[in-house]
Structure 1
Amino acid sequence: MSKGEFLDTLRSKLTGEIPPGKVRENIDYYSQYINDKVRTGIAEQDVIQMLGDPLLIARTIIDTQGCSEATDSGTAYSYETDPQESRGRSFGRSKTMKTWQILVIVLVILAVLFSILRVLIPIILPIVLIGFVISYFSKRR
């Protein structure tokens, strides 16, 4: 797929789904991104392959459009052109935590708590039972 085909596909899927200004903004962004990567020596085909399916990109833009309009209508896009800076980072990664990341953190915390309780209950339970037995017999005197 060429840059033109990529951008045409993206434009056709975004048109009518999001405001025209946002369509232009996204097309300009991806066009500039491709141009900058090609200037660094990466083949155009490789850049487009790294970006992925323009239909999926369009669907993601459309799905997130409502959220971004509610929070910030003047979203500015940026990316790093220095390969050293972007090493280990995926293109388009959000700085906010995703629901699955929060779920994983909660599950890890719960696992740690249950592990601690699993160790402490055999120690604490007999102490509590001995305390109840002592208080029961002290009241009977």
Structure 2
Amino acid sequence: MRKEEFLEKLRARLSQTMSVQEVTAQVHYYENYIQEQMRNGRSEEEVLAELGDPLLIAKTLMDVQETQEGYSRPETNIYDEQGGQEADDVQKELHRMEIKTRGGCLLAAIIFVVIVAMILWAAGTVLIHLLPVLIPAMVILLVVAYFKQK
């Protein structure tokens, strides 16, 4: 793959979700990086091999942008007109959901422990009833095996 093809794939993929300015900045960055590495004596193929797939780079850049937008979006700005009451309601609802999730995890853990205890109890009950038969049978088999060897 050539530098132009690499940059065009990167530009095409980034253009699907980013603004023209952001795409231009990212493509410019990678173009400068490739040129700088080539000035330092590396071949174009080496640099492009190091960078990898331009579609993967684009996906990473878009994921980072999406994450940054999620963090930079103020939660309360949309509620400023009503004095923040709706923001408080949202926070309370999130807190309730968190408590429900914890309660669900606790319930699942309790159910798991009860099921494991029941399985162990059932296995123990069966074993207790089989031991009076199994022990003499094992002794008889050992005696028979001992005398067969002699």
Q: Normalising by structure 2, what TM-score?
A: 0.45
Q: Which has the higher contact order (CA 8 A, sep 6+)?
A: 1
Counting helix residues as a fraction of each chain, which structure ranks higher? 2
Q: Normalising by structure 1, what TM-score?
A: 0.48
